[in-house]
Amino acid sequence: MPEKKEASFGSCGIAKISPHKEDITPDTKVLNLHISFEEALKLNLAIDECLRTLNKYNRSMKEGKRTALNMAIHLHADRITIVESKI
């Protein structure tokens, strides 16, 4: 198994959140995240790097099947972070 990366694979900034953060309720069904082109490229690279790492695991084994990509949305900081996770 490849060595697990402890830090994130990258992050990007969120330009706009709709509905506004203060208007989000438990009944909110959709959260729209507007990301600039440059930040979307960062997000794409972070996802791609994480997927390349996950692809190195042996998915025929139980441990390999449990690997996952975690997209953490930090509403307080208007950022998205990509990290490796397990299901």
Q: Of 4, 82, 1, which Cα lies nearest the Cα of 44?
A: 82
Q: Is residue 5 part of a domain?
A: no
The beta strands (E) that lie in 1-87 are given as: 10-13, 16-18, 32-34, 67-74, 79-86
Q: Answer whether residue 3 is part of any domain.
A: no
Number of domains in the chain: 1
Residue 1 lies in a domain: no
Residue 37: inside a domain: yes
pTM: 0.85
- pLDDT tens digit string along 28-84? 999 999 999 999 999 999 999 999 999 999 989 998 999 999 999 999 999 999 999
Q: Whole domain around residue 43: which residue ranges?
A: 10-86
Report, in this order, helix, strand and coil percent for the chain, each rounded to 5: 30, 30, 40
